[in-house]
Amino acid sequence: MKNLVNAAIDTVNMPDDKGYFGEYGGSFVPPELQRVMDEVSAAYEKYSKDEDFLAELSYLQEHYTGRPSPVFHAKNLSAAVGGAQIYLKREDLNHTGAHKINHCLGEVLLAKRMGKKKVIAETGAGQHGVALATAAALMGLECDIYMGEVDVMKEAPNVSRMKILGAKVIPVKSGTRTLKDAVDEAFKAYLADPVSQIYCIGSVVGPHPFPMMVRDFQSVIGVEAKRQMLEMTGRLPDDIVACVGGGSNAMGIFSAFLDDEEVALYGVEPAGMGLDTKAHAASLTMGTKGILHGFRTIMIQDEAGQPLPVYSIASGLDYPGSGPQHCMLRDIGRVKYETATDREAVEAFYALSRLEGIIPALESSHAVAFAVRLAEKLDKDQNILVNLSGRGDKDIDFVMQNYPLVEYEPDQETGNSYRDFLSHIQYKGLKRSSVNK
């Protein structure tokens, strides 16, 4: 396996000229849309090497987004767990509250250079929608956001933000009324007018060149994190953990460490109500090879190759496939893909809030939950870096309505271990809320 990884690493950092990462990726779209994809590819190839474009993006990253985002040593959480030291890459501190602004600024800058008048996109948790609406407002472009009706109700604060920023939020009432269906409708809208508008995909998914573009714009996370960990600890982290739905935040931080074989990489998928149920979205763990939204991936599908309904408490992870580079990294063994359940995510949500004063997004809570499990097995001199991809403002109302914290009384005699902490949290039993049925 080690030789296979070494051989493959030379190709995972960039897809081939047809957009394939091994056997995954590519572009499976109608001819009229392929012409548009070719136009986008040519524009990205040009501007990704253009000094003025890169200078403007760098300026906005520093003075608008607030980069570099810091790395924080979560000493209280680490002490409570009693194992490895846990560090957080604070993407939640970016303008708009998540990593999504990284690629949205790049995509909207590209759209502006291409002479587009409107940007359109899908969103699940609403973070991509907010970030794109923000960038569009900054650049003076129109913005349409397609969002599943379930997620519109669930992520109401972000819906309000998008509207305040001037975006048109279009509820999607078809299918499961979640992220996959929002992608479907956004693609239809793009097909109707691929000339004056551009579809700014919200993750490392879709037809080429989007998995490559979004990864490249997100790679700033990994570049910063590598430098910061060396400065803080004198060495690279032993493990890096990130949640994975489509996988943009994970590819952003993984990309800088792919050649560092001593660093173990973990992508955490949503196990939802359990892998023994149909209520999960763990495509890399439970899925099979297929074609989804214009690219070859590993997905949750039926015998006819149609995507099946998936579920996660975190709307941003509620997607039946994953990015093509993640699929390849899984196959060659460079990244290990694990899972965390709804219950584990909610426990991590409360724990990080109470122990560190940081309210994480439910998406990021999956990564925190797995990092805790991992840390418990490791020595105190080992370091785990978690990509805290977003803050939990958008999830507060949903969590407090469905899983309210009833009581917390730390046991002063037994100490404040993580498991002791969890044993003193009481909240309503985890089940799907009415909006998810």
Q: Which residue is catalytic, options 122, 185, 224, 363?
A: 122
389 is catalytic: yes
Q: Report d(CA 104, CA 98) in Å as an integer.
A: 11
Options 89, 100, 226, 394, the catalytic residue = 100
- The residues near 148 (Cβ < 8 Å, ≥ 6 apart) are 124, 171, 172, 176, 177, 178, 179, 181, 182, 315
End-to-end CA distance of the chain: 42
Give SS3 for 222.
helix
Using CA of residue 285, residue 287, residue 290, residue 292, what is the dihedral sign?
negative
Asked, as a colleague might, if the bond just before 209 is cis with ω within 30 of 0, I would say yes
DSSP secondary structure of 29-74: --HHHHHHHHHHHHHHHHHTT-HHHHHHHHHHIIIII-PSPPEEE-
Active-site residue identified among 69, 224, 389, 394: 389
Q: Which pair of structure tokens corresponds to residue 43?
A: 């524009």
Establish whether 100 is a catalytic residue. Answer: yes
Helix ranges restricted to H, 379-417: 396-402
Q: State whether residue 424 is helix, strand or coil.
A: coil
CB 422 within 8 A of CB 352: no
CA dist 232 and 83 (Å) reads: 19
Please say whether the beta carbons of 316 and 127 come within 8 A: yes
Give catalytic status of residue 122 as yes or no: yes
Q: Which residues are catalytic?
A: 100, 122, 389
